[in-house]
Amino acid sequence: MTGGEGVWRWLPTAIILLNLTIFGATVWTVTLHLRGKIRQQIASRDGEIFQAVTALDAETAKGEPSPLGLEDPTEQMAMLLRTSRLRGVVAARLFTPQGKPVIAFPVYVQPGIISAALLDQLSPGKAIAQFQPAALAQDHFLPDLMPPETLRLPTPLLEVTLPLRPKNSRKMVGVAQLVIDGRSIAAEYEELDRHLTNQAILAFGAGAILIASSMLWAFGRLRRSLRQLQERTHSLQRANQELALAAKTTAVGAVTAHLIHGLKSPLYGLYSLMSTQAGRPNQTTQTEWAAALATTRQLQTMVDEVAHLLRNEHELNRTESDVRQVLDMAQARVAAAAQASQVDCVTSINLSARLSNRQSSLVVLILENLLRNAIQASRPGSHVTISAERQGAELHLEVTDQGSGIPAERVAQLFLPGFSSKLNGLGIGLAISRQLAIHLEGHLELKRNSKAGCCFVLVLPIGQPPLSGQAGV
């Protein structure tokens, strides 16, 4: 697994988890903020109710207008007493406009004090409600008059502080404070928390599904785009390699043509000399001269074939050869090398196809090179197989050996000019063979490679197979 593939395995998951974490934190933060706002509204709602009741009581007492104004402390205490009888009120306090205590009842209620900050909040004329979810009794009642076990018990309380103002007046003439049993509000808070939690979970679940689905889709598109980009990059790299290989092998071909041109005359002179020396009688080295003559004749024949191929390309396209003949020609050229290496060459063919003489000549050159490489790679007593089969409109020619295979690190360099895995090898045979295959509008490649041997395949276009009853092998 490459580094890029490893990153792609965990990167989408990590990014999705990060986004879900941020989304979850956002949902939770909004939920907490909303809960605080709604709790404050619930507490303020009760404060507004008590303020409205107090204002109404200040205007009328038992259905009749009060003879005393709200400015009078006596009237303020009477109003506070009537208000303290409302349901849920456990204590009441009266303060001066400056926040100093005037009276508190019942008798066991602590008088308390109004801070300057709270007085500033009361100045606009609105009631201030403060909920205490776990208030201690000793903070509101006199310890000497309450049982010790009661003092230690926390209980929810709501403090509602009311500014006392006469009707149509902006002047605050006193401050009333009501301590209310907060258990109903605490229950309402619990219901609110439960509802908000459920809503937050639903919102997070729906959002998580939407985020994960969208990001998985986006990563899928991105992964496909990157894969296409990699494939195009690899295609461009292969094309560049092919162009570089073609340039190198073209140079090799030019050098080869120059060598053929230069070798033709010296080989002819050498052949004449060898013929003269080999024909002289009473020579002790006549056998050696005969062998040298045969070698020289073989070299001259090879040079003549290549020159003839280069010179008569259009004429060679007019005649045809059978594929079996092509394989036999290639096998005949390596017969001596196979015999010397104690390697058997086996031919396997089961098709009907014909090639132009030009195609046949180039295919023989390619197969000869592949067979010589296979023979050199094989152990004595093993065999090399050359096979031919039709696959649709293509001819597949395979050369298989029983050698030890090609090292994996050298496979990528097989068709590069100048590279050879053989001692003293020139490294141009496979490079030229591949270019010849491309010239024939086919391709040459390593099909199999293992410790049990290699298989090279030459693929050529040959058109559709003949109909039944036509000429075949």
- pLDDT tens, position by position, 274-289: 566 655 655 555 566 6
Distance (Å, rounded) from C-alpha 406 to C-alpha 425?
15
Q: What is the pLDDT of residue 87?
A: 73
Distance (Å, rounded) from C-alpha 212 to C-alpha 136?
48
Distance (Å, rounded) from C-alpha 103 to C-alpha 76?
10
- In a 13 Å sphere around the CA of 2, the CA atoms on its Cβ side amount to 3
CB under 8 A, 24+ apart: contacts of 462-471: 462/353, 462/355, 462/390, 462/393, 462/394, 462/395, 463/393, 464/393, 465/351, 465/352, 465/353, 465/390, 466/352, 470/352, 471/352
Helix axes 429-439 and 357-377, enclosed angle (nearest 10)? 150
Q: What is the pLDDT of residue 356?
A: 80
CB atoms near residue 299 (< 10 Å) = 14
Q: What is the pLDDT of residue 397?
A: 92
Phi, psi of 461 (to 5 degrees): -80, 130
- How sure is the predictor about 273, in pLDDT bands with cuts at 50, 70 and 90? low
Contact residues for 455 (Cβ-Cβ < 8 A; gap 6+): 398, 399, 400, 401, 446, 447, 448, 449
Per-residue pLDDT for 461 more than 60?
yes
Tokens read off for 40 = 């404050």
Q: What is the pLDDT of residue 26?
A: 92
Q: How far is CA 5 from CA 75, 120, 155, 216, 226, in A?
A: 84, 65, 61, 16, 11
For residue range 420-449, list pLDDT tens digits in order.
665 555 567 788 788 888 888 899 999 999
For residue range 6-40, list pLDDT tens digits in order.
566 788 888 889 999 999 999 999 999 998 888 88
Per-residue pLDDT for 469 more than 50?
no
Domain count, the chain: 2
For residue range 241-267, list pLDDT tens digits in order.
667 666 555 555 555 554 555 555 555
Tokens read off for 355 = 């090639």
Q: What is the pLDDT of residue 199?
A: 92
10 Å CB burial of residue 180 (0-12, 13-18, 19+) is buried
Phi, psi of 446 (to 5 degrees): -85, 115
Give yes or no for a contact between 83 and 50, defined as CB atoms under 8 angstroms apart.
Answer: yes
Distance (Å, rounded) from C-alpha 200 to C-alpha 31?
7
In a domain? residue 207: no
Per-residue pLDDT for 130 more than 60?
yes
CATH number at residue 21: 3.30.450.20
Q: What is the pLDDT of residue 184?
A: 85
In a domain? residue 362: yes
CATH number at residue 437: 3.30.565.10
Q: What is the pLDDT of residue 426?
A: 54
In a domain? residue 296: no
Most confident of 41-45, 47-51, 269-273: 41-45
For residue range 300-328, list pLDDT tens digits in order.
565 565 555 555 454 445 567 788 888 88
Query: 154: domain range?
Result: 10-181
Q: Taking the model in full, what pTM does it have?
A: 0.45
In a domain? residue 245: no
In a domain? residue 122: yes
State the amino acid at position 89 in one-letter form.
V
Which one of 134, 152, 181 terminates a domain? 181
Q: What is the DSSP string of 18-79?
A: HHHHHHHHHHHHHHHHHHHHHHHHHHHHHHHHHHHHHHHHHHEETTEE-SS-TTSHHHHHHH
For residue range 333-371, list pLDDT tens digits in order.
888 888 988 999 998 887 777 888 778 888 888 998 899
In a domain? residue 447: yes
Q: What is the pLDDT of residue 473?
A: 28
- How sure is the predictor about 157, in pLDDT bands with cuts at 50, 70 and 90? confident
In a domain? residue 418: yes
Q: What is the pLDDT of residue 185?
A: 85
- In a 13 Å sphere around the CA of 17, the CA atoms on its Cβ side amount to 5
In a domain? residue 266: no
Distance (Å, rounded) from C-alpha 453 to C-alpha 447?
11
Q: What is the pLDDT of residue 361?
A: 82
Distance (Å, rounded) from C-alpha 378 to C-alpha 371?
10
Q: What is the pLDDT of residue 5?
A: 59
For residue range 91-121, list pLDDT tens digits in order.
888 888 888 888 888 777 888 888 888 888 8
Per-residue pLDDT for 373 more than 60?
yes
The SS3 call for residue 184 is helix
Q: What is the DSSP string of 107-122?
A: TTB------HHHHHHH
Which one of 181, 208, 232 terminates a domain? 181
Phi, psi of 444 (to 5 degrees): -125, 130
Which one of 159, 181, 203 terminates a domain? 181
Q: What is the dihedral of CA 16, 17, 18, 21, to 10 degrees?
A: 120
Q: How far is CA 273 from CA 265, 269, 302, in A?
A: 13, 6, 19
For residue range 189-246, list pLDDT tens digits in order.
899 999 999 999 999 999 999 998 988 898 888 888 888 998 888 888 877 766 766 6
Contact residues for 248 (Cβ-Cβ < 8 A; gap 6+): 416, 417, 418, 431
